[in-house]
Amino acid sequence: MPFVVILIGFVLLLYGVSRFMQQSHSKKANQQLRYGAAAVLGLLAFLILIRGDIPISAILGVLSYLAARGSLWNFFGSDKAADKTRRDSPARLSVMTRAEALEILGLSGNPDRDAIKHAHHKMMLKFHPDQGGSDYFASKLNQARDLLL
């Protein structure tokens, strides 16, 4: 039972370290934290293995491996890397035509600046990600507005 409490404490510690690493912009500091955490988890796994708790040792060994690879931080932290990948995806960066932009905003002809802004605002109120809409459609709305303006 005490090892379960220790394991939960390590999971919380890993979560805190992962949040710190995602806010840090230094690759060297991130690498040192990754390898340091991997070494600590590996040593702890070895000590627990000597004691005879094979399942807990195996879990800590896997956590040590994931910490060294950097995968553990992506699992425990927020998905800023995934958000950046989505933001820079080819679909986001694809070229939109004027006709597509007008269709997305529900406009036709040659609308003036105020009509474009009003249509964008109206659509964003409905389809913003904070209101349950998709990130993809919100980015397309923004792209359409930028193109028309």
| Tens-digit pLDDT profile for residues 81-121 | 444 444 444 444 567 888 888 888 888 888 899 999 999 99
- Which of 24, 50, 78 terminates a domain? The answer is 78
Question: DSSP letters of 35-51?
Answer: HHHHHHHHHHHHHHHHH
One domain, residues 62 and 13: yes
- Which of 43, 78, 113 terminates a domain? The answer is 78
In this predicted structure, which of 37-46, 74-83, 121-130 has the lowest mean pLDDT? 74-83
Q: Check which CATH number belongs to the domain holding 106 and give it.
A: 1.10.287.110
Cα 148 off chain centre by: 30
Output the pLDDT for position 40.
Answer: 82
The residue segments making up the domain with residue 112 are: 86-148
One domain, residues 93 and 111: yes
One domain, residues 107 and 62: no
